[in-house]
Every structure is written in C-alpha cells, then in structure tokens.
C-alpha cells in the first residue's frame, strides 16, 4: 500500500496486563470523548476501539505531523471513545538563539 493511502493515525494498543481496581466513573457510562489541547487549530479526532480490553493505553501516532500521544484505558465503561488533540503544526525548525551580549555590571571592590 502506498504511503498516502494509509490512515492518518496509527493506533496501537499497549496491554497493561491489569484489570481495573477502581469502579468506573458513573458520569460516563458510554465512554469519554477526550479533548486535549487548546482551541487552536488544527484539531485531529481519532476514534478509539471502545471499550478497551483492560488497563493499558492506546498509543496514537499521526503520520502527517508525527505527534504521538498516549491515552490510558481501564477496560471500563468510562474508557476513552475518541481523542481530539492538536496536531503539531508544521513549522520550520527555529534558528538557534543568538548569544546575547551579556553586560555584566563591573564589580567594585
């Protein structure tokens, strides 16, 4: 498959090999749509396999901008259902900071 036909996001499940020990949050019986980052564009939304198997996390990788985030799961009803986050804006690498001329006050004995 050519590169540009692959899905933008690669979601990998990493098994924590633990069962949840805490009761789920009753506020979220149908999963949580995680919102991360601020209101600044661009926003990427990734659907996650829900519910998760058990404790562990999803590693989400954007093939476009290279951002990598991790979303923890517990195998409970309040697991994340999707994750929305700020894609890394494509920016030119910043030039190295110029050394500042430090003017030190002369020490008077």
Q: Mind giving me the DSSP string for 29-57?
A: TT-EEEE-S-SPSPEEEEE--SS-SSEEE
What is the pairing mode between strands 32-35 and 80-86?
parallel
Q: Does 53 bind Zn ion (CB under 5 A)?
A: no
> Which part of the chain contacts Zn ion (CB under 5 A), choosing from 16-24, 28-36, 81-89, 93-101?
81-89
Residue from 11, 20, 28, 62 that binds Zn ion (CB under 5 A)?
Answer: 62
In total, the chain counts a number of residues equal to 109
Q: Does 64 bind Zn ion (CB under 5 A)?
A: yes
Residue from 20, 24, 28, 87 that binds Zn ion (CB under 5 A)?
Answer: 87
CB of 80 to Zn ion, least distance (A): 18
CA distance 33 to 36: 10
Q: Does 11 bind Zn ion (CB under 5 A)?
A: no
């Amino acid at each position: 498959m050519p590169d540009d036909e692959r899905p933008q996001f690669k979601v990998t499940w990493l098994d924590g090999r633990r069962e949840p020990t805490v009761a789920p949050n009753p506020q979220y019986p149908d999963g949580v749509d995680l919102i991360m980052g601020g209101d600044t564009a661009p926003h990427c939304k990734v659907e996650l396999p829900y519910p998760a198997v058990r404790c562990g996390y999803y590693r989400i990788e954007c093939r476009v901008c290279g951002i990598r985030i991790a979303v923890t799961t517990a195998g409970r009803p309040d697991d994340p259902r999707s994750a929305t986050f700020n894609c890394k804006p494509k920016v030119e690498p910043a030039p190295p900071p110029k050394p500042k001329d430090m003017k030190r006050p002369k020490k008077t004995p």
